[in-house]
A and B are shown apart, each in its own frame.
Chain A
């Protein structure tokens, strides 16, 4: 076995420390709990496993072969080769959580700089060094709002996708916090402010708003919302790429901001690892979940980093911790920040502008087709939008897939009021040919 060096020293090592066989080392295992090996195939050579994997992956149809217009929480963006050439360095990959800061300064500084990138994009005072994904970050935000405000209710928009809602419920239901949903306006696709404000009261711990929201729509009234919700925390969910052109939520009163930084530096990977991010204002930092890296000095007065505010965390506070999170998505988060710093100030703006511009153009082109309404909502959009079709969504998806295109996500079952509605996303990955192919396929149904 190429990874296990001591097999040939087994007898000698046993003898040196007074055991006669490996069985001696397992003598305390009771008979009922013993097994003699595993019913798994024997190991294989690297070459054979490589071939097996290639054969299996050959059964996939990837976005390299068929252009796709799927988003809904996971996004297909270009990942510069630089990103994983750096994040993939084995000094980073093979390190543990930096419990010994003196020999882990590289990862610590990189994580501090990830936190800085998120804080700068969101306009917050601090960010943690990542959560699992966006849905768990919302759930943690709900629980944090309760710790801060003592309210018994947390309000979310009804347009949050079912998978996110399920995660949120699984996290908070045991804590006694009640999740209530406020409606959206069917013509703008934005939250219904009157309905929302009608639900806000003394028992409200926090209000969650997503912008751009599930429908890709930019929420316009959110800029004035904070002053209207009293002591409740304002939690904003945002695709961080959109913040290249949209105002930082910290500048319009957000208390904490959550989302997913997978859009930077991380391939889709069939939905994981994602990079949940979590940022907040300074007055809330001690109630924040997750690991935080801080800047300090060493014994010689040099700049040095370490994990800090650990008294919030499970390994110190145990049952009183702000969260149970331990392992996070550190390496994926670092990859996100490498991409963010490659883009920098101008690249970030340009990429965000390009995504929004492509969506605007594509909505126009799709809307020219008979039997297609794009977008379904009369609002500003980022890089996603809802399309309504005369054709049933499943039939349309199947037809497009037969033609080699992944159509938008079917949201007609979750939002029956919207009719034949699907959620589309476009990014810098699409070529003119991809769009031509899509539009030609959409046109076919007219004949």
Chain B
């Protein structure tokens, strides 16, 4: 496929427009006198002045210089960039839910509460857990909530001294960052030769100080932790909680439930597994499911059903309280509900199976061309190494940029840290065989590219390689009415 991204020399919006223009007409209302204390009167507001058509052209042009799943393959490992059905966008924009206030009387938002209640139930079934909270606004937010639940659980059992969290060396960066925020200490364990948890290392890390072990399954290498049941037993015997990071749930729906694996707390990323869009970085949603023994500590309110009525249940005396202002990213929840209704139990299972097939198909076709350390069988993603490019003075970064030139998005690169020059590939269930074949062909072609070609890429994108060092040095982080704002 030939590709060239749109190129506009689209200036900063502050340099557009003209005096007196405005893109909004308000209803009339008489302006009152003396609205604010005189010394707090705003003296200057330097926003630009644009008419509606100017704003429309500006953002339309910007959109054309942006790559998304709707344009092409976007196999970012660990990110689950699956197709976001248009039906779900429609569902989230219905005025019947969009124009409801979070403080309305619950009797007037029964529809919203029903959606949330049903979503909680569906997620509980996928995760193999008893109760679910929808309040976390993102994956890291859910993870943080999980750790707060762990803290509350141990405290209730008189075991406040448990202040260590064990992480495998493949953990996502949010894991250690969330642990620090909770005030816990991190114990990192090395992986075994085959890329799974080393049981001996885990055994020596577990102690009467362990609060929680955070483990993704399949793990970040895309390998199913075949010892997971044993791992859960070891954790429980040591009095620790086992926490499921839901980043890779798309591999196992309908095949293996985290609750059955032995996890106590299960995290979901609706923006990964349940097809809600990533929106250039958010909003997502990071619900948390728990087994019965953790349920009393869930954030308030839980959406409950009493007879024929749905209620916001605040009567949870052991609850950790609130972790966000309201009930979570409701518009995202509506999308996930819609997706799960269309997919059904059978469709979700099929999604996981086909995601795993697509991944293994690509892996087997690429493994002769790029080194792949660790175990052979993978789930929904796999991690290759771009270390073979070193001999011609190139790197994984160059591979990524050459993929962009073909109208393909790069995989996740340089993560996990365990693999040198990592290329982490997650194709998802929505790619056609033809698209997978094209991606494979391009990856192989790149191994034959010259050093110069590799270093020059990308040339078909809106801009060439961006100088990230300059960005960090100059610190131009915004534009103000006075012009470019340098913070160095």
**B283 → chain A closest CB, angstroms:** 4
Does B1 count as interface, using CB distance less than 8 angstroms?
Answer: no
CA distance A280 to B50 in the complex (A): 27
CB-based contact A103/B404 at 8 Å: yes
CA distance A321 to B175 in the complex (A): 11
> Which residues in B have their C-beta under 8 angstroms from that of A268?
98-102
* Contact A14 B357, CB 8 Å, known A93-B89, A319-B186: yes
Does A417 count as interface, using CB distance less than 8 angstroms?
Answer: no
Of listed A104, A282, A344, A406, residue having the most chain B CB within 10 A: A344
CB nearest neighbor in B for A1: B347
Of listed A39, A90, A354, residue having the most chain B CB within 10 A: A90
CA distance A25 to B56 in the complex (A): 48
CB nearest neighbor in B for A40: B345
CB-based contact B177/A17 at 8 Å: no
Interface size class of A (residues with CB under 8 A): 35 or more
> Which residues in B have their C-beta under 8 angstroms from that of A297?
466-467, 470
Partner of B23, one of A1, A326, A341: A341
CB-based contact B280/A132 at 8 Å: no
Does B317 count as interface, using CB distance less than 8 angstroms?
Answer: no
CB nearest neighbor in B for A36: B254
CB-based contact B43/A325 at 8 Å: no
CB-based contact A94/B69 at 8 Å: yes
CB-based contact B26/A103 at 8 Å: no
The segment from A65-73, A198-206, A227-235 found at the interface with B is: A65-73
> Which residues in B have their C-beta under 8 angstroms from that of A447?
none
Partner of A103, one of B56, B96, B341, B462: B462
CB-based contact B13/A113 at 8 Å: yes
**A3 → chain B closest CB, angstroms:** 5
> Which residues in A have their C-beta under 8 angstroms from that of B254?
35-38
> Which residues in B have their C-beta under 8 angstroms from that of A4?
347, 350-351, 354, 429-430
Does A98 count as interface, using CB distance less than 8 angstroms?
Answer: yes
A residues 59-85 near B (Cβ < 8 Å) are 59-64, 66, 68, 70, 72-74, 76, 80, 82, 84-85
> Which residues in B have their C-beta under 8 angstroms from that of A127?
477-478
B residues 15-40 near A (Cβ < 8 Å) are 17, 20-24, 26-27, 29-32, 35-37, 39-40
CB nearest neighbor in A for B21: A344
> Which residues in A have their C-beta under 8 angstroms from that of B327?
270-272
Does A257 count as interface, using CB distance less than 8 angstroms?
Answer: no
Partner of A345, one of B46, B60, B413: B46
Partner of B255, one of A34, A68, A316: A34
Partner of B330, one of A100, A272, A327: A272
The segment from A151-159, A306-314, A365-373, A437-445 found at the interface with B is: A306-314
Does B487 count as interface, using CB distance less than 8 angstroms?
Answer: yes
* Contact A341 B48, CB 8 Å, known A25-B360, A167-B325: yes
CB-based contact A33/B350 at 8 Å: no
> Which residues in A have their C-beta under 8 angstroms from that of B410?
99-100
* Contact A325 B140, CB 8 Å, known A40-B122, A62-B99, A346-B22: yes
Partner of B280, one of A96, A306, A320, A353: A96
CA distance A28 to B219 in the complex (A): 13
Does A170 count as interface, using CB distance less than 8 angstroms?
Answer: yes
CA distance A106 to B320 in the complex (A): 40
Of listed B325, B432, B476, residue having the most chain A CB within 10 A: B325
Instruction: Mark each residue of chain A from 310 to 351: 1 if its CB lies under 8 Å from any CB of chain B, else 0.
Output: 010111111111011111111110100010111111111111
Instruction: Mark each residue of chain B from 178 to 200: 1 if its CB lies under 8 Å from any CB of chain A, else 0.
Output: 11111110100000000000000
CB-based contact B95/A102 at 8 Å: no
CB-based contact B178/A324 at 8 Å: yes
CB-based contact B99/A167 at 8 Å: no
CB-based contact B458/A103 at 8 Å: yes
CB-based contact A175/B183 at 8 Å: yes
CB-based contact B47/A340 at 8 Å: yes
> Which residues in A have their C-beta under 8 angstroms from that of B363?
17
> Which residues in B have their C-beta under 8 angstroms from that of A304?
463, 466-467
CA distance A315 to B174 in the complex (A): 7
CB-based contact A57/B65 at 8 Å: no
CB-based contact B40/A100 at 8 Å: no
Does A197 count as interface, using CB distance less than 8 angstroms?
Answer: no
CA distance A349 to B85 in the complex (A): 39
CB-based contact B280/A98 at 8 Å: yes
CA distance A74 to B103 in the complex (A): 9
CA distance A42 to B278 in the complex (A): 26
CA distance A82 to B331 in the complex (A): 19
Partner of A10, one of B100, B277, B357, B487: B357
* Contact A166 B321, CB 8 Å, known A30-B229, A74-B102, A100-B410: yes
* Contact A343 B23, CB 8 Å, known A97-B280, A113-B12, A308-B477: yes
CB-based contact B280/A334 at 8 Å: yes
CA distance A252 to B40 in the complex (A): 9
> Which residues in B have their C-beta under 8 angstroms from that of A341?
13, 23, 47-48, 50, 55, 58
Apart from A94-B278, A101-B466, A270-B109, what 8 extra A-B contacts exist at CB < 8 Å? A37-B254, A40-B345, A59-B114, A60-B111, A94-B84, A106-B462, A296-B476, A321-B173
25 A-B contacts, Cβ less than 8 Å apart?
A13-B357, A25-B360, A28-B224, A35-B128, A44-B342, A70-B103, A92-B279, A93-B84, A97-B281, A102-B466, A105-B62, A105-B461, A119-B478, A163-B322, A167-B323, A176-B183, A243-B42, A245-B35, A269-B97, A308-B472, A316-B173, A318-B173, A345-B47, A357-B32, A409-B103
Q: Which 8 A-B pairs have the closest CB atoms?
A: A271-B326, A174-B183, A331-B279, A43-B344, A271-B102, A57-B96, A106-B66, A40-B345
